[in-house]
Amino acid sequence: MRTFSLRDLDSDFVDEIESLDFIGTFRDCYACGTCTGGCPVHRVNNDYDPLRIMRMLVLGLREELLKGEMIWLCSDCYTCQENCPMEVKITDIINHLKNLATHEDNTPLGVSTQKKLLMDQGKIYIIDEFDNKKRAKAGLPSLPEMAEEARKLLNKR
Amino acid sequence: MNENIRVGVFVCDCGSNIAGIVNVPEVVEYTKGLKHVAFADEGKWSCSVDYLAKMKELIKENDLNRVVIASCTPRTHEPLFKRTVKEAGVNPYLLEFVSIREQVSWVHRADPSKATEKVKDLVRMGVAKAVLLEEGEEIRLSVKTDCLVIGGGMAGMTAALNIADQGFHAILVEKESRLGGLLNRLSVVCHDHVKLEAAEIVKAKVALVESHQNIKVYTNAEIEAVEGYIGNYKVTLKANGSNETFDASTVIVATGMQEIEPVGQFQYGSDPRVVTQVQLEGLLRGDEVGQVKDVVIVNCVNSKNESRGCCTIGCSVSVKNALALKMLNKDIRVDILYRDLSMVREEGSDLETAKRAGVKFIRFPDDRYPEVTKEDGNLGVRVYDILLGKEFTLPSDLVVLTTGFKGDDTCEAIKGHLKVSTNPDGFFQEAHIKLGPLDFPSDGISLCGCARSPKNLKDSCEEGAGAAMRASIPMKRGYLEAEGIVADIDLDVCNSCGLCAKNCPYGAIKWEDEKPNVIKALCKGCGLCAADCPKNAISIIHYSDEQILAQVDAALEERPEEKIIGFVCHWCALGGVDMAGVSRLQYPTNARLIRVMCSARVAIKFIERAFELGAAGVLVAGCEFPTCHYITGNYAAEERIKRAKKRLARKGYDPEKLWNVWCSAADGPKFANTMRDMVKELGLE
């Protein structure tokens, strides 16, 4: 098992996240585990654990959080956030962490592939001539390529 | 027996509670035929005002000098009937109470005829004892108004002030050179809302104590000896080199506590940068913390393990001091390593403040404590975070250990002087955690503050006030009344073996001129001494050998082979019997119960007599361990039962027919089950 030194931890990271208005304080977390208890992802995959994310955040384990895969397993259902007795905005925090990771190009392969598909074609599922022929038979209009619009949207940030 | 004994028997219907099952008129008729019974009557509601008035008339009219009440249970109604017979001119010790509701009608509802037979037996037993009853009287001891307070910490000072403010006299004894106790070594108390300097709190309290005309303070003082009992203590004090003796009527123990030094653990003792919480308080108080950057606090050191419980104050102390460090310099890193955080009420908001101030909390597992490491002179703490499943190394230039506490060093000596006990953690043991939290089993001595268990300032002061109130009750009244059930030693028969004085749980038997002398004020009447006396020289008033043996004889007059003689202690076992009754738990009718004050009263000869007369079995029932109304009576009873079994086997009786049960006053099912099991095992079904 790796031994971490808390000297390496980033206290500024904790302050920085906490200073965001839409997040507020998460240090009130008293580790009750209600978030994990209600999490539908945790139920099928023990590797994902919102409480662990909160603890890592409180201690300032920046690298672990942003370079790891854990945050990407969140399904964004908001159950943890709704249940939290200390009103910690868990899902909002995880989304923010995903954004931070993306900015640092720390997206897992699945997510970066999807991003590439969107950039290239404007869609995650490729619609080719075969699909459009079938659509025509069913009396539906053919779908245009939307790569340009998607790129515009994605580059906005 | 010269006097003309005239027993009156009053059998209660309790509405239909008793009369619905038991044929009360038949019992009354039967009773009238018993020897010495001059009168018997049936009462619809015997405890009603009307009937009590009638009872008084009947006692006078019929010139009765012994009264047997057959009704509910002595645990609830004995005081009422005692008062009634007293008002009728009969000494209340000449009353015998027979329980036929809890022991018969409520628990044998399926068999009215057997229930009626059992009531006849119980009444016959009651009459047999009543005939032998002797007059007794309450013992009255005068209590003056001097109270010795041992320990001049916050609890002791609060107690002394509360005693003194009532106009009583307090003698406050402190072993150190100044008052204040543990608080003299602390920095601040109660951080978040109101920040109070410990020194200021002590100063204010000491000013009140020292200026009070009713308080005499001794510092640098040590208790040399305390002799006597409530209302009559002789205290010898060694203060500033000379001895002083004075009288006191009551005693309050407020000796406080001390940290368990974690010598050899976590580099404590070998590295000055590893300190305890109290030592940290000292540094904070003296502004000597210095330029620390990383502080690691380790909680639950030497507490919450196999040998000691939770110290109850460590969590809040660690959070309080973490905040104090943060206030000193917000850039100090403070990490608290904990197992569980129990913070309630206002402490909880301290916790919130600490978290927001950036104090980090890391939870470690019970079986994997942090380790203090040292590399190239640098201290570090290695901790396994149970929530993350990761091990961290925390660099540190100050490690603070939140250690457990134990009673003060003076505990042992005080314990000997006052003849009270301590618990395995080295704190004084109260009489009962709920029923007598500030009392010792001996009258006149009360307990408060950290001498009892670790406490915060608020709780200590509250207990000081509470203990003062406990001590004030007899001082206000001016006397203490004790029940006249005490030991009486026939010195002509006594061979001075000394067993009674050695075994008395209250130290009530003093050795004077080679002979035992019962201090009636101290004797509680448990009967342990009488049961073990090799010369049968000791009698317990109201529970004499003759009286109890007469009950055994009366119970086994007819068909002894069907009967189980049960000796039940008044406090817990009879409570269990009553609870079985109240709960209407049905069990077989074989038992004939004899009440004793404590299971320790049950002499082997009682048990032997029952078997000699052909009893099917004998049951001894007492309080559940480790509690006993008489401190350790049930332990003595348990030992004696082992000896009794050997003796029975030697005499050719089956020792397996001697049973015992230790049940709490709430455990009706346990008693009922024991009766069922006994009847089954003894083949009485």
Q: Cα-flanking dihedrals φ and ψ of residue B15, to 5°?
A: 65, -120
Closest residue of chain A to B395, computed from CA coordinates: A7
User: Which CATH code of 3.40.50, 1.20.1250, 3.30.70, 2.60.40 fits the domain covering B1-138?
Assistant: 3.40.50
Contacts of B358 in chain A (CB under 8 A): 11, 14, 27
Closest CA to B30 of B99, B100, B127, B102: B127
Which residue stretches of A28-140 are H helix?
Answer: 34-38, 40-44, 50-59, 62-67, 79-83, 90-103, 109-121, 129-137
Closest CA to B528 of B443, B597, B609, B606: B597
Closest residue of chain A to B357, computed from CA coordinates: A27
pTM of the model: 0.77
The answer to whether residue B537 scores a pLDDT higher than 50 is: yes
Contact B390 A52 (CB under 8 A): no
Amino acid B559: pLDDT: 95
Q: Highest mean pLDDT: which of B350-364, B431-445, B598-612?
A: B598-612
Domain ranges of chain A: 6-103, 109-155
Contacts of B392 in chain A (CB under 8 A): 3-6
Tens-place pLDDT, residues B414-440: 998 988 888 888 999 988 888 789 998
Nearest to A59 among B355, B360, B395 (CB): B360
Closest residue of chain B to A49, computed from CA coordinates: B388
Q: Domain B543-685 belongs to what architecture?
A: 3-Layer(aba) Sandwich (3.40)
Classify B584 in phi/psi space as left (phi over 0), alpha (psi -120 to 50) or beta.
Answer: left
Tens-place pLDDT, residues B150-206: 999 999 999 999 999 999 999 999 999 999 999 999 998 865 566 789 999 999 999
Yes or no: is domain B262-403 CATH 3.40.47.10?
no
DSSP string, B65-82: SEEEEEES-HHHHHHHHH
The answer to whether residue B2 scores a pLDDT higher than 70 is: no
A and B: number of Cβ contacts within 8 A: 48
Identical fold at B486-526 and B543-685?
A: no
The answer to whether residue B333 scores a pLDDT higher than 60 is: yes
Contacts of B390 in chain A (CB under 8 A): 1-2, 4
Amino acid B372: pLDDT: 95
Amino acid A9: pLDDT: 65
Task: Name the CATH topology of B146-258+407-479.
Answer: FAD/NAD(P)-binding domain (3.50.50)
Cα dihedral sign, B59-B62-B65-B68? negative
Q: Are B84 and B97 in contact (CB under 8 A)?
A: no
Q: Which of A3, A47, A57, A59 should one mutate to test binding to chain B, selecting the residue with the greatest count of B CBs within 10 A? A: A59
> Residues of B numbered 338-367 whose beta carbons fall under 8 angstroms of chain A's beta carbons: which are they?
341, 352, 355-356, 358, 360, 362-363
Cα pseudo-dihedral B536, B540, B543, B544, rounded to 10: 30
The answer to whether residue B557 scores a pLDDT higher than 60 is: yes
Contacts of A14 in chain B (CB under 8 A): 358
Tens-place pLDDT, residues B371-383: 999 988 899 999 9
Contact A6 B393 (CB under 8 A): yes
Contact A6 B392 (CB under 8 A): yes
Q: Highest mean pLDDT: which of A34-48, B127-141, B417-431, B518-532?
A: A34-48
Which amino acid is it at B556? L
Contact A59 B362 (CB under 8 A): yes
Identify which has the larger pLDDT, B590 or B627: B590
Domain ranges of chain B: 1-138, 146-258+407-479, 262-403, 486-526, 543-685
pLDDT in tens, chain A (157 residues): 445 555 556 678 888 888 888 888 888 898 999 999 999 999 999 999 999 999 999 888 888 899 999 999 999 999 999 999 999 999 999 999 999 999 898 999 988 898 888 888 888 887 888 988 999 999 999 887 777 888 888 776 5
Amino acid A4: pLDDT: 56
CA B472 to chain A, closest CA, distance in angstroms equals 45
Average pLDDT over residues B403-411: 95
Tens-place pLDDT, residues B454-503: 999 999 999 999 999 999 999 999 998 888 899 999 999 999 999 999 99
User: Which CATH code of 1.10.287.3510, 1.10.1060.10, 1.10.3720.10, 3.40.640.10 fits the domain covering A6-103?
Assistant: 1.10.1060.10
Q: Domain B486-526 belongs to what architecture?
A: 2-Layer Sandwich (3.30)
Amino acid B141: pLDDT: 85
Q: Are B449 and B464 in contact (CB under 8 A)?
A: yes
Q: Which of A12, A13, A14, A27 should one mutate to test binding to chain B, selecting the residue with the greatest count of B CBs within 10 A? A: A27
Contacts with B139 (C-beta within 8 Å, 6 or more apart), sequence order: B481, B482, B483, B484, B486, B520, B521
ipTM of predicted complex: 0.80
Amino acid B193: pLDDT: 62
Query: What separation, in Å, do the N-terminal and C-terminal C-alpha atoms of chain A show?
Result: 38
Q: Which of B352, B390, B394, B397 should one mutate to test binding to chain A, selecting the residue with the greatest count of A CBs within 10 A? A: B390
Tens-place pLDDT, residues B567-593: 999 989 999 999 999 999 999 999 999
Amino acid B501: pLDDT: 93
Identify which has the larger pLDDT, B115 or A119: B115
Contact A55 B388 (CB under 8 A): yes
How do strand B479-482 and strand B139-142 relate by DSSP bridges?
antiparallel
Amino acid B138: pLDDT: 85
Average pLDDT over residues B630-651: 94
Amino acid B14: pLDDT: 95
Contacts of A56 in chain B (CB under 8 A): 388
Contacts with B26 (C-beta within 8 Å, 6 or more apart), sequence order: B116
- Give the helix/strand (H/E) hosting B635: helix B633-650
CA B107 to chain A, closest CA, distance in angstroms equals 49
Amino acid A1: pLDDT: 41
CA A53 to chain B, closest CA, distance in angstroms equals 9
The answer to whether residue B313 scores a pLDDT higher than 80 is: yes
Distance between CA B543 and CA A98 in Å, rounded? 82
The per-residue pLDDT of chain B, averaged, comes to 93
Q: Are B336 and B402 in contact (CB under 8 A)?
A: no
